[in-house]
Structure 1
Amino acid sequence: MSYVTPTEFVTKMIDAGEAKIFMSTRDTLIRAFMAGAILALSAAFAVTITVQTGNALAGAILFPVGFCLLYLMGFDLLTGVFTLSPLALIDKRPGATAGGVLRNWTLVFIGNFAGAFLVAVMMAIIFTFGFSEVPNEVGQRIGHIGEGRTLGYAAHGAAGMLTLFIRGVLCNWMVSTGVVAAMMSTSVSGKVIGMWMPIMLFFYMGFEHSIVNMFLFPSGLLLGGKFSFMDYLIWNEIPTVIGNLVGGLTFVGLTLYSTHGRKKGKQSAQAGHIGNPAGVPAE
């Protein structure tokens, strides 16, 4: 499947992060909007499968279809740019700044939310026949998901907030692993297989994904979920975003960069030392 070595795909990660920092506002917003919309559709698809089959594993197995499609089309999720964009700054790529990274994150957040919210409205219309009936079974399930994953955490106080944060960390550890896994192959089949496994894992385990939640919770509110928008922000979205940032950057971006991204420089230094054991500078 045309395997790409770690040293090579980490270089691709840094290049991708650099490209995202310098991408135009227009392109960043369009790509983020489409990514949020497609992932939201995939979440609706997975919940529908789970409700209709009564098997959560079936929904989790099929959920990654949306992630694979949006990645192959070059669209951007906040979880991915959390991991990739800072690498260009860490690698000291010319022109890469902290401001550029924050700009990229902000634009992608806005685009993801807009795309996910649009799909939330569309699906709410479908689940209620244009708000003329009570939500169908799938719509009711989405409403209950929103309640359990806001008020459910709030009921446990600090312990609930810690659990939410850790679920966010674990989520983007897996999601960013999926992003990187796609860079390990040059074939479409290899990319899809690499992405599918960690994405399926995070969804089935119920980890917290900030963009999936941009669909589930606004949709839940539209469908009569008994929680507020502030409940959603405080007891889900904000801690999830922070957890996603920590998980992706710490356990994927920085670990791979520290052991593979700087390998060439270390080897060059070692080679120079071998050729000049006394360490005398050349004249």
Structure 2
Amino acid sequence: MSYVTPAEFVAKMIDAGEAKVFISTRDTVIRAYMAGAILALAAAFAVTVTVETGQPLVGALLVPVGFCLLYLLGFDLLAGVFTLVPLALIDRRPGVRLGSVLRNWGLVFVGNLAGSLTVALMMAVILTFAFSVDPNEVGQWLGAIGASRTVGYADHGAAGMLTLFIRGVLCNWMVSTGVVAATISTSVSGKVIGMWMPILVFFYMGFEHSVVNMFLFPAGLMLGGDFSIADYLVWNEIPTVVGNLVGGLVFVGLALYATHARTGATRNRPHPGKSVNRKVNA
């Protein structure tokens, strides 16, 4: 059987979080860089398919290819380490401290950003013939989405910020479920099927993913999007990162840990064969 039970895969999650804390700085950054780059390429692919077919569902159906590849290759996304690494701290694994958790998050953030920016620059060059012509239809779409998902939120003030945060929470609820789904099977096909479903949901629903946005918005700025770097940071990236942290840690990591690693006491049940007296009202 290739299926792994919840108790077993939650133990794997804690072990994985512990292992990531002790990975060298060099390896952490390289793995995060490659994860950011591969996910950015998948996002560019999904955007291209969506624009050319006019069917967002087609893009959403295909974007998980990047997510599956990067996790099968052992690379790390910020969304995933938000969920896994704190579990090693909560489980009191030897040598795991708050500082080491924050170090891992910081290194993965830097690596993801660098990889995403690399692909954003490459795509901007491709879509404009090295900035010698105006962006094509895909490039124009990238610029437009950057504006709609920054100043578009800002136009609604506090309500827009709350909406952005909630979209970040829901996004990593799904994405981290995909991370966990990679551990529920020992076969490649089982892992891919498990990861594919929640990533499809997050992308089609338009939730906010901090690493995908590290590609979309810088690319949009390079391609003439009508928003600023400050708009991107304040009205997208920073609230999205916080929302992703809450969604992944609270609704996936802690929920699974609480019920499968630190289960509550079982209730007493009647002994087989013994009758249970019941009072019947006359």
1:115 aligns with 2:115: yes
- Distance across 2 between alignment mates of 1:226 and 1:210: 20
Q: Which runs of 4+ in 1 moved over 6 A?
A: none
The within-5 A match list for 1:216-235 is 216-235=216-235
- Distance across 2 between alignment mates of 1:266 and 1:180: 25
Any idea what the Cα deviations from partners look like across 1:225-252, whole Å, max 9, x if unmatched?
Answer: 0000000000000000000000000000
- Distance across 2 between alignment mates of 1:215 and 1:187: 31
Task: Specify the SS of the correspondent of 1:184.
Answer: coil
| CA apart distance, 1:262 | 1.9
Question: Aligned residue for 1:37?
Answer: 37
Instruction: Name structure 2 gaps, 5 residues minimum.
Output: 269-282
- Distance across 2 between alignment mates of 1:177 and 1:65: 16
Higher helix share: 1
1:241 aligns with 2:224: no
Any idea what the Cα deviations from partners look like across 1:34-78, whole Å, max 9, x if unmatched?
Answer: 000000000000000000000000000000000000000000000
Question: Aligned residue for 1:190?
Answer: 190
- Distance across 2 between alignment mates of 1:266 and 1:103: 35
The within-5 A match list for 1:74-113 is 74-113=74-113
Task: Specify the SS of the correspondent of 1:135.
Answer: coil
1:255 aligns with 2:255: yes
Amino acid at match of 1:189: S
The within-5 A match list for 1:201-220 is 201-220=201-220
- Distance across 2 between alignment mates of 1:67 and 1:140: 25
- Distance across 2 between alignment mates of 1:194 and 1:20: 22
Question: Aligned residue for 1:179?
Answer: 179
- Compute the TM-score of the two structures, normalised by the length of structure 1: 0.93
Task: Specify the SS of the correspondent of 1:168.
Answer: helix
Amino acid at match of 2:252: V
- Distance across 1 between alignment mates of 2:144 and 2:61: 22
Amino acid at match of 1:111: G
- Compute the TM-score of the two structures, normalised by the length of structure 2: 0.93
Number of aligned pairs? 267
- Distance across 1 between alignment mates of 2:212 and 2:265: 40
- Distance across 2 between alignment mates of 1:174 and 1:19: 23
Question: Aligned residue for 1:199?
Answer: 199
- Distance across 1 between alignment mates of 2:261 and 2:166: 27
Question: Aligned residue for 1:163?
Answer: 163
1:51 aligns with 2:51: yes
- Distance across 1 between alignment mates of 2:132 and 2:261: 56
Amino acid at match of 1:261: A
- Distance across 2 between alignment mates of 1:19 and 1:252: 19
| CA apart distance, 1:261 | 1.1
Task: Specify the SS of the correspondent of 1:161.
Answer: helix
C-alpha root-mean-square deviation of aligned residues, in Å? 1.1
Any idea what the Cα deviations from partners look like across 1:61-118, whole Å, max 9, x if unmatched?
Answer: 0000000000000000000000000000000000000000000000000000000000
Question: Aligned residue for 1:275?
Answer: none
